[in-house]
A and B are shown apart, each in its own frame.
Chain A
Amino acid sequence: MDGLITFFASHYALRAETVLKRGGLHAKLIAGPRDLSPNCGVALRFEYADRERAVGLLDAQRVQIDAVHKFVPRSDGWRSAEVAEWRR
């Protein structure tokens, strides 16, 4: 899973996991990378290719997200990708 969604509050991360799984998408809660979010809690890994569907499902359920990120293996870690596009 090369996609990562960060949230303002863990409340939304937990709800997002349920929403994505109910929508048939892969989702896994992980410790939120500190460089991406000031949230001490969790972020949600998912398949970046599913991002439009994922964001659509979350929007429909009014689950607020911080940003969608993509993992770029050639670099040294998570990078904010298309943050402007996906930031809510």
Chain B
Amino acid sequence: MNVRVIYFDNAATSWPKPPEVLAAIGECLAEAGGNPGRAGHRLSIAAARVVEETRELLAEFFNAGDPSRIVFTQNATHALNVALYGLLRPGDHVVTTSIEHNSVMRPLRDLETRGVELAVISCQPDGTLPLEEVRLTLRSRTRLLVTTHASNVLGTVLPIEELAAAAHAVGALCLVDASQTAGALPIDIERTGVDLLAFTGHKALLGPTGTGGLFIRSGLDVAPLMRGGTGSDSDRETQPGFHPDVHESGTLNVAGIAGLAAGVRFLRDVGVDAVAAHERRLVIEFRERAAQIPGLTLYGPEDAASRCGVVSFNLASAGSSEVAQILDDSFGIMARAGLHCASSAHRTAGTFPAGTVRFAFGWFNTSDEIATAMAALGELASWAAQKVAWTV
């Protein structure tokens, strides 16, 4: 590739990864190649050590208390499915928001066909959630409030602490989808009081794809989504009920988990506050420059304090995928166009079915990259304006 790559698709998966992550994966495969928790030989123990040290690291990182309450999954979608199918039964009432990703919306729509009653609270076009409406919708037979921590389309951050308190006020549980925020914004599970939190390892936590997890509060039993070998209770043909084994059937992605640990350690050294401040600064720079470009429409909240490193925009009369293609082909800028697996969020923003162009910044992006990208968008805007003239 002779054009320098500017990677603005960190909301899909982060890139590049810290070199430590790549090294940890290689080292794990070379040195800890056994199957964790299945045997007593040193390679099996070494693999189990990788898994359990990572679990403890994550429990500390999220201030989650007992590490056994964090179970590893393939990704956040998997974690969300464990939580939703494990908790909800016909007749249960569930409340969610209109800016959820399909990883929440599709399981909920499926559960709706199986007798779960679903209430979707409409957010404002910038993604802001009307808290009063949430409180009015929650009722005594509400089992669960499901909310994203931040929109993957608009970048809007929702107040999970207030939402957890509102859910608890009616005796409901609160499940948070932290796909966009784990590693990008500080998350303190104890302080926020959330009951379940799904996270992915390959986004802001800087780990490899195929890693993620679910936090389940102590004392809360969630039926497993899958059953199988766990290395424990092997004299029985029924699934063990204890954590973490109940939700960890089959061999874990040990090498991936080793990489995830390296990503989390990197973040711990850098500081999640520093990551959040860096991304916020990039968003402010982006928005200031974007405001100077004629025909560029910005979506999402104006207040930088209520958003993460995700921005969405459109250029007048240019299709979002067309813009993203030109950004890649001509400028080496990786952006994601379209509906971002979140049609409900785009309906909320008024950008359905056309979608938007999304830039999602990460720790490794720089102000120079923003400047380069904005110059490119300036050129593209001129081209788009001419395109209008040609087609009239």
Contact = CB atoms under 8 A, between A and B. Distances in A.
B44 A8 contact: no
A87 interface: no
A39 B66 contact: no
A46 to B, nearest CB: 15
A62 B68 CA distance: 10
- The contact size tier of chain B is 20 to 34
B162 to A, nearest CB: 29
A14 B67 CA distance: 12
Nearest to A43: B40
B244 interface: yes
Interface in B222-253: 230-236, 240, 242-245
A12 B48 CA distance: 11
B233 to A, nearest CB: 5
A41 B40 contact: yes
B245 A11 contact: yes
B52 A11 contact: yes
Interface stretch (B31-39, B200-208, B358-366): B31-39
A8 B38 contact: no
Interface stretch (A26-34, A52-60, A69-77): A26-34
B234 A39 contact: yes
A10 B37 CA distance: 5
A41 B235 CA distance: 13
- The contact size tier of chain A is 20 to 34
B52 A8 contact: no
Contacts of B41: 31
B87 interface: no
A11 B244 CA distance: 7
A39 B245 CA distance: 11
A79 to B, nearest CB: 19
A61 to B, nearest CB: 9
A14 to B, nearest CB: 4
Nearest to B49: A14
Q: Which one of A10, A18, A31 has the greatest number of beta carbons of chain B within 10 Å? A: A10
A41 B37 contact: yes
B265 interface: no
B45 interface: yes
Contacts of A32: 40
22 contacts: A8-B233, A9-B68, A9-B231, A9-B243, A10-B37, A10-B231, A11-B52, A11-B68, A11-B245, A13-B48, A15-B67, A18-B56, A29-B40, A38-B233, A38-B235, A39-B232, A40-B37, A40-B38, A40-B231, A41-B36, A42-B37, A42-B48
